[in-house]
Each structure stands twice: as C-alpha cells, then as structure tokens.
Amino acid sequence: MEKQIALVTGAGKGIGAAIAQRLAKDGFFVIVNYRSSEDSANEIISKIKEFGGEACGYKCDVSNEDECVSMFNDIAEKYGNISVLVNNAGITRDGLLMKMSSEAFDSVINTNLRSAFLCSREASKQMIKEKYGRIINISSVSGIMGNFGQTNYSASKAGIIGLTKAAARELCTRNITVNAIAPGFIDTDMTSVLSDKIKETVKAGIPMKSIGDTDDIAAAVSFFAAKESKYITGQVLAVDGGMSM
C-alpha cells in the first residue's frame, strides 16, 4: 500500500463519516469502521471513490476485544500497518445520576472509552513497527465541563482526555502523537434526538450562537493527522464555538 492507512471508528455516519471523507481527500487510504450502519458506510465509501479517493469498510463492534484485535490483525495482513487512528465511535444513554442504571453507565463507558483503549493499544503496536503514528481521540465538551444528565457520557469523555495524555507520554519518543478533539454541539443523529427547545437553549449558551457541523471536526482531525503536526502531542482541542472557554 503506497498510501498511508487511516482507520476511523464509527465512520458510517455523522462526524466519523465526515472525518473519513476528509482524510481520503488528504490522501489516506481510509478504513471506514461501522457496527450497524452498513448501507450508509457503503455510501460513504462510494462518495470517496467518486472523488478519486481510496477506502474500504470494516464491520466491527469496537467495544468487543476479540472483534477489535481481529480487525487490526486483518488490516495489517491485507493492507499493512495503520498510520492514523481516529477513535470516534460513541453513544449516549442520558439520564439523571440518581436514576441511572449501572448497565447504562457501563455501556457508555465500554463504547466510548474502552473502545478507545482497545483500538489505541492495537494501533500502537503497528505504529511502533512503522516508527510513525497519529492517534486522534474524539472527546467532548461534556468531558471538559460536565453536562446535566450525562454522568456516564461525561465520565467516558473525561476518561478519553486522561487516556490521550498518558498515551501521548508513553508514545512520544516513538514518533507517535496522541491528541484529542472536544467537539461542542454538532448537528448529527446523536443531537437530532433532542427537542427544538433544548437545541435553542444550547445554542443560546454558545458564544458563537450557532451549532457546529461535522466538517468543523473533520478539519481539526486533518490538522492533527498531518505529518507537519509532529511537535504537537497530548493536547485537547475544543471545537465548540467558544462553549468551553
């Protein structure tokens, strides 16, 4: 494989799909990971091929250790070692702390945080062999500020920040950078479930008074993924219209 390989988790739709398309435009061979959104992942791959990019899909539940390990081994065997990993897969299971089931807590931690640990562990083995790598973790403004009704989600996203900084320290002498992006309120399926009233309240609290779009996050990922960003590691970049400043 002449091109560098980038794996984006949860890339069948939303922010992940925008990241996959942006990295393909940047010249990466992109692996579009999905869990259930197969049709939409195939559409993203077709779009990438239409503009002359290269991509393929890989179905895998990234919170499952066996599936995750197999995915990384398969990729290495078929295409080569990956250079860029974007840990984007995520879910919400909102609810008040006093009413939250431990199952709702665990499923969010497993999907959002454990998956980032598993994928980063497997990717780092390949990146160390390549003597090069970029790991980019999608956190959230909720991981920085906390958010009402999201103790599970905020904990998972704050955990991502800790994981980013510790991994950055471990891997920085190997030419591997690890950074996080903390999106604010972005227009995707994850936020479309919220009522118009909640959306207006959130919008009113954003200094820029507007909701972000998926390309805003993809642009930040593109920056961290670039070879030129070699002296930046362990950082958390908020892309949130000023929400967390």
Catalytic residue list contains 153: yes
Q: Measured on CA atoms in the order 59, 63, 67, 73, is the torsion positive or negative?
A: positive
| 191 binds ligand NDP, rule: CB under 6 A | yes
Q: Give the integer Cα–Cα distance in Å for 227 and 18.
A: 20
Q: Report yes or no: 44 and 17 within 8 Å, Cβ to Cβ.
A: yes
Q: Report d(CA 225, CA 30) in Å as an integer.
A: 12
Options 4, 21, 83, 88; binder of ligand NDP; rule CB under 6 A: 88
Q: Is 124 in the site for ligand NDP (CB under 6 A)?
A: no
What are the tokens at 120?
């980063």
Q: Of 53 and 183, which has the nearer Cβ to ligand NDP?
A: 183
Identify the three-state secondary structure at position 4: coil
Span of 27-35, 100-108, 220-228, 229-237 interacting with ligand NDP by CB under 6 A: 27-35
**Is-contact 34 12, C-beta < 8 A?**
yes
C-beta of 75: minimal distance to ligand NDP in Å? 15
Task: Provide the minimum distance between the beta carbon of 131 and ligand NDP in the complex, in angstroms, as a whole number.
Answer: 28
Which active-site residues does the annotation give? Answer: 153
Residues that bind ligand NDP (CB under 6 A): 9-10, 12-16, 33-37, 61-63, 88-91, 111, 138, 140, 183, 185-186, 188-191
